[in-house]
Structure 1
Amino acid sequence: MGAKNNVTEFVLFGLFESREMQHACFAVFFLFHVLTVLGNLLVIITINASKTLKSPMYFFLSHLSFADVCYPSATIPKMIADTFVEHEIISFNGCMTQLFSAHFFGGTEIFLLTAMAYDRYVAICRPLHYTAIMDRRKCGLLAGASWLAGFLHSILQTLLTVQLPFCGPNEIDNFFCDVHPLLKLACADTYMVGLIVVANSGMISLVSFFILLISYVIILLKLRNQSSEGRHKALSTCGSHIITVLLVLMPPMFMYIRPSTTLAADKLIILFNIVMPPLLNPLIYTLRNNEAKNVMRKLFSIKKSLGEK
């Protein structure tokens, strides 16, 4: 790699060319990132501290919340720090680390959502066998498989990119190192690599989307035979999940299902994907869930009473 690689660092253009807009971004994204980390940590603490939130749904939600802390943390702190410097520079190794981390946690998030959809399918369509099917071992295997699949997806993206020759220019029109902008800079024919990227990232998003779509169609058909109370409770849980699925999967499908080209809207679309689902997931899964809200109230009341003592 060293012999054919003249590039030791990359220059990131960031979100906006205007320094005033960059400074405005600092306040907005710093606040968003703090809220994202605190919100997801609150979900993780609530689930692990509670004796009642022990169902598979909450087990997967705690894993999702952990991924939601890590996914934006791979890129957003660097972007926030760069709002104060004239030239946003990242080393070659730092660039590849950022690429790996973003795809690892982003991919894992998609696989965890698929595992959560399977859990909802079993709970609604096979309620009598639910505890036997979704036992602790099965949940652990599904969560472990989600993290392993995210790792394999990411390591493939990174290995494909790191072996490319970069001999200049080294300017990336983005706020972090992603595959498409890097393929554009490589001084080699990247057509085949671009196809593999589409097959890897794009098809994962598309296949996951169709699996989730089919599972929810089956669930909705099954709900027609349930009582109005059971239907309302199931729809509330599934509704939260469907909102998250759309937020998480639509941007990657737009970004990676097409050939290796960069569009003007790409930066804002991928930023939305990195920032909004991790920020909104704690609200989506807790504000619509009375059980989780009651546990949070109890935790806060216990802490308050301990503080008063």
Structure 2
Amino acid sequence: MVNYRYLGNSGFKISEITYGNWVTHASQVGDDAAVATVHKALDLGITSFDTADAYANTAAEVVLAKALKGQERANLEIFTKVYWPIGKKGPNDQGLSRKHLMDGIHGSLRRLEVDYVDLYQAHRYDYETPLEETMQAFSDIVRQGKALYIGVSEWTAEQLRAGHALATDLGFQLVSNQPQYSALWRVIEEKVIPTSEELGMSQIVWSPLAQGVLTGKYLPGQPVPEGSRATDEKSGANFIKRFLNDDVLTAVQKLKPIADEAGITVAQLSLAWVLHNPNIAAALVGASRPEQLEDTVKASDITLDDATYAAVNDALSSVAVTDGAETDTVSPKSRPA
């Protein structure tokens, strides 16, 4: 079963393996398969579910609602996000303006068929909207009971600090950040994690398996497996390309003997490596088939000793990206056209 961790400096607990439906629901898999994977997640003890209005242009939220129908609402933690263009993608159908945040929360609640979301997240930083406007709107959404907690995604350390200060002045708190993080992509370690620890914020990390590369299934010098994410332009193929070179894939193969020594799979080792960091509240995992979750959730019961953690670092030291400046490049400097 899956263990729980507090989200930031709050009393709110989430499952440390959280189910995310970014590239699967209403895109990579049909609705029946999506429902089956969510039901499997529930059976395995996952109660936290992450989505976004932009996933499949709002359709992923609809599919998640279908999959969770009939579940006791109080026993679920439902997260969604707002920022990227949705719907007709007009000038006010994007960003973090008060207009879009209010339209966004109402649309997400309607599609998810709930009265509130547990966590509402700014999907990126909006350079075109005053931060004061954004945080005031979030404050009002919390006071109206439409979201219980507020988080962000891929904000820099400086942005986290400024947003946290405004939230505190407005009487609520930022509890989380949702960045990319894995043993191959460690850019948040330099500034974002130390700042978050200081501010009482946690990370809910996406791509903890580097889009599947950290399962060890992609082999150097070999074609990518048929049906894998690397072959499907709708399921994150562009995101995986940066890792599909022989230097990275050769280094990842060094994880196999480390995992064998620990009696676990490479995927479990990679997830346990992420969860070894106490500032990580949850690792987001997805699945196109229910049986994929059976392997990954077992990472919740694995505690790596320091020697194993160090062995992973040594194996990937020549290929892991650690430059904290990468965090400055994620949010667009202007809203998408």
TM-score, normalised relative to structure 2: 0.20
Report 1 or 2 for greater relative contact order, CA contacts < 8 Å, sequence distance ≥ 6.
1
Higher strand share: 2
Bigger CA radius of gyration: 1
Structure ranking higher in helix proportion: 1
